[in-house]
Chain A
Amino acid sequence: MVMVCARIRLFVAAIALLVLAAAAPVAAQQPNSVDPNAEAVKEQQLLQQFRRIQGLGTIPDTKSYLIEQPQGRQWQHYHEVLLPWIGTLAMLGMIALLVIFFLIRGMVRIKSGRSGINIVRFNAFERFVHWMTATCFVLLALTGLNITFGKVALLPVIGPSAFSAWSLAAKYVHDYLSFPFTLGVILIFLMWIAGNVPNPVDVEWLKSGGGIIGSSEPPAYRFNAGQKIVYWIVVLGGAAVAITGYLLMFPFYGTTIAGMQLAQMIHGTVAVLFVAVMIAHAYIGTIGMQGAFEAMGEGTVDLNWAKEHHSLWLEEERARTDSKQMQGRPSATPAE
């Protein structure tokens, strides 16, 4: 009897196991069942819920474990959409303004004509520093703008092979020329800081539109208010692009991904605005004003140009020259 009961229990247990085994796959196929592992691998769902995709890895670089993050999308939007718009508006807007201004005002001429007497405006070292910085700036601007506009403006024209080769070379040029550019900005800061401290004369100069707008010729020392504005844009803008550029050149040296994204945003924005300002600077230094280019080209300006645009500086120079002559030293200022 005992044996029979034991066999019946064994038979019932076996049947129960068979029923469970048959029911398990059916339960797994139920549409309402939850499979946490299956849900976890849906990256799009993770991204929507947590705004980031992050995992674990086995390589030492833990930064690589973070695949997607909100700041990355914001940075991409800035880099691909905002920056090209800021740059386009700033640079083309500046060119349009200058064209309109030139059509209305024309070249600002020396009213009393050339005197035939030249005086030294910038010595050889000042011109060397200016041209070193300017040359670097032009090359840095072209190679930098390639990063923002190259894909749209250049790639369709020259094709992927040439664009790749050019972009690689441009990247290296951009890196290496940052050094002479930074040196130039530092030298400009030190060389001309004394003449670029704002003073009350600048306020009057700005009120009268610098003589460019209107007919009056406001007095100015060696650098007028407009030149001082350009000076501080070069010094502060140059410092900003240099610092942020070096942060990008040495990734993760004191910065994180977020820090480098911020650095790139500052670098790009300041750079395109910098280019817009330098377009205006180049305009007024060449076709915008008669006699202005000579100051940096040859180092001298016409006496009448100095009288009209920098009368207080001319007085200082004359006083200095007279003082030297009284002391029996030859003057180096007049350069006919």
Chain B
Amino acid sequence: MRAFLVACLAVVVIGAGGYFFLASMQEPSGVAYATNGARITTNWSWRSVGSRAGECDARKSWQWVFVDFGKPEGESAICSISQ
């Protein structure tokens, strides 16, 4: 029984080590297999641009032109609710 419990603990510890190892090695497929221009950030939405203009920072013209999906620093999370 003790061997089993120690084994379970080892599984958790080594599994957690696996998490940190993979986190340092891998990146999301959307980042790994796309260029900056092709990425769509899920934090961005048209709602944050239009209907919540009072609460959220309005996007600059160049952001509209170049379809910039970045999120202004310090912007409320509610501005980034996906459509």
Contacts and interface: CB of A to CB of B under 8 A. Distances in A.
B11 interface: yes
A249 interface: yes
Contacts of A61: 33-34
B3 A177 contact: no
Interface string B1-23: 11110111011001111110110
Interface in A29-73: 59-61, 63-64
Contact of A128 (B3, B22, B25): B3
Contacts of A183: 14
A178 to B, nearest CB: 7
A128 B14 contact: no
Interface string A113-147: 00000000000100111111011100100000000
A263 to B, nearest CB: 17
B35 interface: yes
Interface string B49-70: 0000000000000000000000
A273 to B, nearest CB: 23
B10 A180 contact: yes
B77 interface: no
Contact of B14 (A63, A131, A134, A180): A180
Interface string A171-209: 011011111100100000000000000000000000000
Contacts, number: 66
Contact of A176 (B8, B10, B19, B38): B19
Secondary structure at the A interface, as helix, strand, loop or mixed, is helix
Nearest to A183: B14
Contact of B1 (A59, A172, A176, A297): A297
Interface string A65-109: 000000000000000000000000000000000000000000000
A129 B16 CA distance: 18
A59 B18 CA distance: 32
B11 A135 contact: yes
Contacts of A124: 2-3
A60 B35 contact: yes
Contact of A136 (B11, B17, B21): B11
A299 interface: yes
16 contacts: A61-B33, A61-B34, A127-B3, A131-B3, A131-B4, A173-B15, A175-B18, A175-B22, A176-B16, A176-B19, A177-B15, A179-B15, A179-B21, A180-B15, A297-B1, A298-B1
Given A128-B6, A139-B11, 7 more contacts: A127-B4, A128-B7, A135-B8, A173-B15, A176-B18, A179-B15, A180-B10
Interface of A: 59-61, 63-64, 124, 127-132, 134-136, 139, 172-173, 175-180, 183, 249-250, 297-299
8 shortest interchain CB distances as A-B pairs: A131-B7, A127-B3, A179-B18, A132-B7, A180-B14, A176-B18, A176-B15, A131-B4
